[in-house]
Structure 1
Amino acid sequence: MKDAPRKLAVIAAVAFAIAAPAAQAVLDIGLSASQFADQGDSTLRAAGYAFSIWSLIYLGLIAYALWQALPRNTGNPAIRALAWPSALAIALTGAWIFASALNERWLTVAIIVAAAAAMVFGLMRASRGKSTFMDWLLVWWPLGLLGGWLTIASAVNILTVMTAEGLIGSGSALLYGMAGVIATAAVALWVLRRTAVLPYGAAVTWGLVAVWVAERPGEPALAWLAMACAVVVGLAALWWGRPATAGKR
């Protein structure tokens, strides 16, 4: 029974995160996520298709919420270590929807950075070790994807808000954009080296390639820097994040 609060917290966080964008759209609350981004996306952008990763993330989070709640996983050390950090990170993704809808720019920065930090902390806290196939599929993949996407989304969100607030002018946008890409890749490599979670690197790579697609027509230097970083992060994810399974659970 002592594990019931964490199990329920994860389920509640996933339900809130999935309901938030639906509620914002149906109730027409403030700005949509794309409208919020349009205010300052001239410094660093990702192609629109990249955000489809949320469909996969949401599906994975539903599976994770159900899997971690099963009695057989009560004593699973990785799930126990990931529970509270993941619940916080997931809930904050829902909170971000409402903060952006209300155009609370700096609040969105605080929320998304906190969400990314919480998820990365959880991934580092839970040593993957010899994961079972089901844990690899239903825990590490959804949470790794979430952590990786939040990492690159944090950089884009920060630069979007700084641009919208007038802190980044057109003359310095390229340098800030490059700094954002390099910082994202550096953080990703550090996390991958510490966690060996392949899907984390896959999500960051996905985002960096989307930056290449979006920026190539107008800022080819930024675009090709993003592609170079995507290749490095992708190869690191494949090298450090090779699955280590110990049979089926």
Structure 2
Amino acid sequence: MKTVVMVSAVAAVVVSFLGSGAWIGTPIAEAAGGALSATSTLVAPAGPAFSIWSVIYTGLIVYAVWQFLPGRTARHDALRAPIVASMLLNAAWILAIQLGQVWLSVVVIVALLAVLVRVFVLLQQRTPEGLADAVITDGTMGLYLGWVCVATIANISAWLVSLGITDGARVWAVVVLVVAAAVGVLLVRYSSGAIAPTLSIVWGLGWLAQGRLSGELTDAPVGWTAVLAAAIVAVSTVGTRLRSSGSQAVAV
């Protein structure tokens, strides 16, 4: 299974190049008729937000090497299968968009979100093997989960717009941002203040706010709702960590 993790990580990175258009293929923002561009919906983050993928992919490669090292406990035995599934689903999502199948990308990203939630639950049930494991494993998977939470909202919204469902776009945007804040707070409370999911959620919401408060598709109510949602998640994380300080040695 260790080898499968490594192969899956490499495959995810290679397919990401296809999605970036760096070598071949069409950039995600331009694929599927631009359904996932930074101005496609009111909940699409601004372009720079997607640079977080480089951090996540780097973390996945480092994890693939880390789990190969001797001394890894049953914690990693339980994590390998769902982490492999997450990387394969990631690659499948990029391929779905490259094929212009927005509806299929929604199915895949919802499945990816479910798998990452499973990984997150497993991480909370098993103590990290020290600071390095907490940063490499918990940190990477936490960033991954937080970002996919934001990406799922954007993906579903893009699909609805592709179907011609645009009425009440501002109301929908505000509602899903409230849901995003609630999900962020739930993750924080469940993990006793894990930082990584908060960082990526706040990052995504921050760039979403930037996109709505300036640029081509502006909408002040949505932009400021995103700012408030990000602030709620951040404050909840700080408050939870202060209350639980001393009860959890490492919370990344």
Q: Which of the five TM-score ranges fits, normalised by the shorter chain?
A: 0.7 to 0.9
Q: CA deviation at 1:128?
A: 5.6
Runs of 4+, deviation exceeding 6 Å: none
The answer on 1:17 being equivalent to 2:12 is yes
Distance 1:67 1:133 in 2: 13
- What are the ranges of 5 or more consecutive residues in structure 1 without an aligned counterpart? none
110, 132, 135: which one aligns with 1:134:
132
Tell me if structure 1 keeps the 8 A contact 2:202–2:234. Answer: yes
Q: Who is 2:43 aligned against?
A: 44
Tell me if structure 2 keeps the 8 A contact 1:149–1:204. Answer: yes
Tell me if structure 2 keeps the 8 A contact 1:43–1:163. Answer: no
Tell me if structure 2 keeps the 8 A contact 1:81–1:126. Answer: no
Tell me if structure 1 keeps the 8 A contact 2:42–2:212. Answer: no
Distance 1:151 1:44 in 2: 12
Q: Which amino acid aligns with 1:231?
A: A
Distance 1:176 1:52 in 2: 26
Q: Who is 2:143 aligned against?
A: 145
The answer on 1:107 being equivalent to 2:104 is yes
Q: Who is 1:68 aligned against?
A: 67
SS in 2 for 1:71: coil
Q: Who is 2:85 aligned against?
A: 88
Distance 1:185 1:95 in 2: 27
- Percent of aligned pairs with the same amino acid: 26
Aligned pairs for 1:96-245 within 5 A: 96-127=93-124, 130-131=127-128, 132-169=130-167, 172-196=168-192, 197-217=194-214, 218-240=218-240, 244-245=248-249
Distance 1:238 1:10 in 2: 33
Higher mean C-alpha displacement, 199-208 vs 117-126: 117-126
Q: Give the root-mean-square deviation of aligned CA atoms.
A: 2.1
Q: CA deviation at 1:28?
A: 3.8
Distance 1:240 1:67 in 2: 29
Q: Which amino acid aligns with 2:54?
A: S
Quickly say closer, same or farther: Cα 1:94–1:239, change in 2 above 3 A.
farther
Higher mean C-alpha displacement, 181-190 vs 51-60: 181-190
Q: Which amino acid aligns with 1:232?
A: I
- What are the ranges of 5 or more consecutive residues in structure 2 without an aligned counterpart? none
Q: Deviations over 1:37-88 (max 9, x none)?
A: 7336133221111111111111111111111111211x242x2332222211
Aligned residues, how many? 236
Q: Which amino acid aligns with 1:163?
A: V
Q: CA deviation at 1:129?
A: 6.0
Distance 2:30 2:124 in 1: 39
What TM-score, normalized by structure 1, do the two folds share? 0.87
